[in-house]
C-alpha cells in the first residue's frame, strides 16, 4: 500500500503538468484571436476617433428616378424610384457597347475588323454616326460611334456583326442583363429607339455601369472621349459633365420624348468612385445639373476605404495534430467598404476562430471569420482562410496533442 501513494503522486504531477500545458495552449489561442491592430483599431475616447455625424437626406432632384452607388462596393448611397421601369432611350447602348467590348476582350473579334454597313443600319433615324450603306467601317470606329456619338446606325451595324442580326444580338443583351442581375430590364432593340416592352430602371443601369467599369477597364477610357470625327463630321460627346468636371470619365446620355433626358455618369476622386443614374429630366442642362448635385452629395458625405488586402496575414491560429503548430489566416479577397467620411478610425475588428482546429489544413480552408463594426453595427463579415497548408503530424505527435487537448478542454 505504501507504494500506491508515490505512484498516485507521480500521476498527479504529470496530470498537473499537462493541465498547465493545456492552459498555456488556451492562453495562446486567446492571444491568436485578437484582431490585427491595424486599420479600424481606433480606441473609444481618443481624439482621433470622429464621432458619428448625422448624414442629411439626399438632395431632391427634378427627375423621375435616380440612384447613386459606390462604384467599388456597389453600396447604395441615395435613391428615388430606383426600381421604376422607365424607357432608357440611348442608355440602352451601354449594354450594346458592353457586349461588343466583351467580344473584343475574349478574342472573338478584333478592333480592326471591318464591318459591312447594311441598309437597315444606314437608314436608322435619330442620332447617327453617318455611315453609308454598302461601305465598311472598323469595329473600333463603330464602337466610338456608339459611345461618343450615340449613333443608332453604328449600334445596329455592330449588333448585326456580332449577333448575325439585330434580333439575335438583342437576345444576347437580355441574357447578359439576367447574368448581371438586371431584374427589371428588357430590351427590344440595340439602340434604345422607343418600343413597347423596352424598359430598364435606375438601379439596373447603375449595375450595368459598374460592370462596364469593372469588367472591361482597358476599354473604359472610350467613355471619357469628348469628340469623335468620322467621314469629316465632328461630333461631341453629349455628356456635359465631361467638360465641366475633370473627375467625370463616363458613361452615357439618353433622350427620347418618352424617356426625357437621362444620364449615367461616373466620377472618381482619390480612392472613391461613384456612379449616378438620373432618368426623366426635362433638358440636357437639367440632367447634367441634377447629376452634379447627386455626385456632390456622395463625395461630401461618403468615402471608399481599403481595409484589408486579400492573401495578407490577419492573424494566426493554433493547429492540433499538425506538422506546424499554427497557420497564418487571411482573407480570400480585398475588403473594401463604403463609410461615412472620416469614420475609419471608429471601426472595430473582431476575429472569431473555430475551436480545436486539427490538421490537415488546405490553402483557402475557412477556419474563422473577421467581422468589422461601426457604432456597434456589423458592416462586414468575411471568412478567414488558411494562407498555407498544414500536413498531419506523425502518430506519436497526434497522440500527444490529443492528450494536451483533452486536458486543455478539461481545465479551460
Question: Assign residue 403 a region: left if phi > 0, alpha if psi is -120 to 50, beta otherwise?
Answer: alpha
| 150 is annotated as an active-site residue | yes
Q: How far apart are CA 287 and CA 142, in angstroms?
A: 26
- What are 365's three cell numbers? 480552408
183 belongs to the catalytic site: no
Length of the chain as a residue count: 412
**Given the residues 93, 252, 293, 316, the one annotated as active site:** 93
Q: Catalytic: which of 90, 190, 200, 369?
A: 90
The single residue listed with the C-alpha cell 490553402 is: 363
Catalytic residue among 118, 150, 190, 267: 150
Strands (E) in 133-259, as ranges, are 136-138, 227-230, 233-236, 248-256
Distance CA 329, CA 314 (A): 6
Give 355's DSSP letter.
S
What is the residue-wise DSSP string for 231-260?
A: TTEEEE-S-THHHH-TTEEEEEEEEETTTE
Asked about 402 being catalytic, the answer comes back as no
CA–CA dist 309, 39 (Å, integer): 11
Q: Catalogue the active-site residues.
A: 90, 93, 150
Amino acid at each position: 500500500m505504501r507504494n500506491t501513494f508515490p505512484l498516485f503522486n507521480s500521476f498527479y504531477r504529470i496530470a498537473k503538468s499537462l493541465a498547465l500545458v493545456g492552459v498555456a495552449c488556451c492562453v495562446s489561442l486567446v492571444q491568436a484571436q485578437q484582431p490585427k491592430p491595424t486599420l479600424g483599431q481606433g480606441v473609444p475616447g481618443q481624439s482621433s476617433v470622429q464621432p458619428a455625424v448625422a448624414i442629411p437626406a439626399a438632395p431632391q432632384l427634378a427627375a423621375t428616378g435616380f440612384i447613386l452607388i459606390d462604384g467599388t462596393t456597389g453600396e447604395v448611397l441615395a435613391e428615388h424610384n430606383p426600381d421604376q421601369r422607365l424607357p432608357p432611350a440611348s442608355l440602352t447602348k451601354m449594354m450594346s457597347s458592353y457586349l461588343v467590348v466583351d467580344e473584343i476582350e475574349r478574342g472573338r473579334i478584333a478592333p480592326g475588323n471591318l464591318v459591312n454597313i447594311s441598309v437597315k443600319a444606314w437608314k436608322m433615324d435619330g442620332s447617327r454616326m453617318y455611315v453609308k450603306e454598302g461601305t465598311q467601317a472598323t469595329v473600333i470606329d463603330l464602337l466610338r460611334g456608339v459611345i461618343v456619338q450615340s449613333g443608332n446606325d453604328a449600334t445596329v451595324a455592330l449588333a448585326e456583326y456580332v449577333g448575325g442580326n439585330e434580333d439575335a444580338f438583342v437576345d444576347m443583351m437580355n441574357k447578359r442583363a439576367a447574368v448581371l442581375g438586371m431584374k427589371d430590364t428588357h430590351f427590344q432593340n440595340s439602340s434604345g429607339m422607343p418600343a413597347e416592352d423596352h424598359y430598364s430602371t435606375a438601379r439596373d443601369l447603375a449595375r450595368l455601369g459598374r460592370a462596364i467599369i469593372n469588367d472591361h477597364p482597358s476599354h473604359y477610357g472610350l467613355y471619357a472621349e469628348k469628340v469623335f470625327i468620322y467621314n469629316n463630321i465632328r461630333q461631341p460627346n453629349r455628356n456635359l459633365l465631361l467638360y465641366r468636371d475633370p473627375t467625370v470619365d463616363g458613361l452615357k446620355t439618353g433622350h427620347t420624348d418618352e424617356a426625357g433626358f437621362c444620364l449615367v455618369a461616373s466620377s472618381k476622386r482619390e480612392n472613391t468612385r461613384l456612379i449616378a443614374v438620373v432618368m426623366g429630366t426635362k433638358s440636357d442642362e437639367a440632367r447634367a445639373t441634377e447629376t452634379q448635385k447627386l455626385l456632390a452629395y456622395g463625395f461630401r458625405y461618403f468615402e471608399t476605404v481599403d481595409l484589408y488586402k486579400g492573401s495578407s496575414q490577419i492573424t494566426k491560429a493554433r493547429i492540433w495534430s499538425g506538422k506546424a503548430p499554427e497557420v497564418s489566416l487571411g482573407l480570400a479577397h480585398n475588403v473594401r467598404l463604403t463609410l461615412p467620411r472620416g469614420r475609419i478610425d471608429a471601426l472595430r475588428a473582431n476575429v472569431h476562430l473555430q475551436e480545436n482546429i486539427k490538421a490537415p489544413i488546405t490553402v483557402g480552408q475557412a477556419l474563422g471569420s473577421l467581422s468589422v463594426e461601426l457604432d456597434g453595427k456589423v458592416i462586414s463579415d468575411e471568412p478567414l482562410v488558411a494562407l498555407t497548408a498544414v500536413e498531419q503530424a506523425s502518430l506519436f505527435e497526434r497522440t500527444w496533442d490529443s492528450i494536451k487537448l483533452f486536458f486543455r478542454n478539461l481545465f479551460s
